[in-house]
Amino acid sequence: MGQLNILGRVPLDTDISPWWEDTFYTESTQTLTDTMELVQLLIQETNYHLNQAQVEVDLAKQTTRILTSASTRSAQYAYTWWDWVYRGCVIASLLVFTITLVQCCYLKHLITSLRSALNTSVAFEPLNLPVF
């Protein structure tokens, strides 16, 4: 073995390159730079996928809004159409009920007047009076 350096165990007769020719720092820095570029690329791809996912979510929301508004409009149209049919049936039923009630009252009055006329004619029959 050769002589030892006071500061370390490096033999004095070995060929040691100076610090400016050392590639360890350069390689470490290059590795760190490559890693940072890879991370930046992954972040950009993730941002792209997040933006793409956001676009798809917005499209799905808009499609849902369009479909619900269309079905709501058709449901409102159907409801209002059936509502008017129902209202028409209710009005017709009330009209029929009113006419039936008037007829019942008229027939009751007619029967009462016929009965009184019959009673009057029966009562006046022995007298042979003309019936009005």
Of 120, 116, 119, give the one whose Cα is nearest residue 130. Answer: 120
Q: What percent of the chain has pLDDT over 70?
A: 61
10-33 tens-digit pLDDT: 555 656 666 556 666 667 777 777
Instruction: For the chain, give every domain's residue range.
Output: 45-123
Cα separation, 132 vs 116, whole angstroms: 12
Cα separation, 126 vs 115, whole angstroms: 18
Cα separation, 107 vs 67, whole angstroms: 59
Regarding pTM above 0.75, the answer is no
